[in-house]
Amino acid sequence: MGLFVNILIAAAMAFVVWRLGIFVLRSIAHPPEPPGEGQLRKVDLRYRCSICGAEVKMVQASEDLPEPPRHCMEDMDLVAPPFE
């Protein structure tokens, strides 16, 4: 009887691992849809003021590559690549 229970438990665990693997592969194959217009997206952009050297790290924006912020009445320079 003990061998039958062990085989049953092993089969149940194999089924759970198999279903979990299928779930992970499906979630990778179908990435989430991009956010709608007006919603914030995650970005990782760093800007530096060319006049005074102040730096800004932007983590959310309404676009993938937004216009640079202004500081000292000038547009700041992008110092990190937008896609790392």
**Nearest by Cα to 37 from 68, 69, 64, 70:** 64
Distance CA 52, CA 37 (A): 34
- 72: tokens are 């000292």
pLDDT in tens, 41-82: 888 889 999 899 888 898 888 877 788 888 898 889 888 665
pTM score of the predicted model: 0.51
What is the separation of C-alpha 46 from the centre of its chain, rounded to a whole number of angstroms?
17
Residue 27 lies in a domain: no
Residue 58 lies in a domain: yes
- 2: tokens are 């003990």
Residue 12 lies in a domain: no
Residue 59 lies in a domain: yes
Domains in the chain: how many in total? 1
| DSSP β-bridge partners for residue 77 | 48
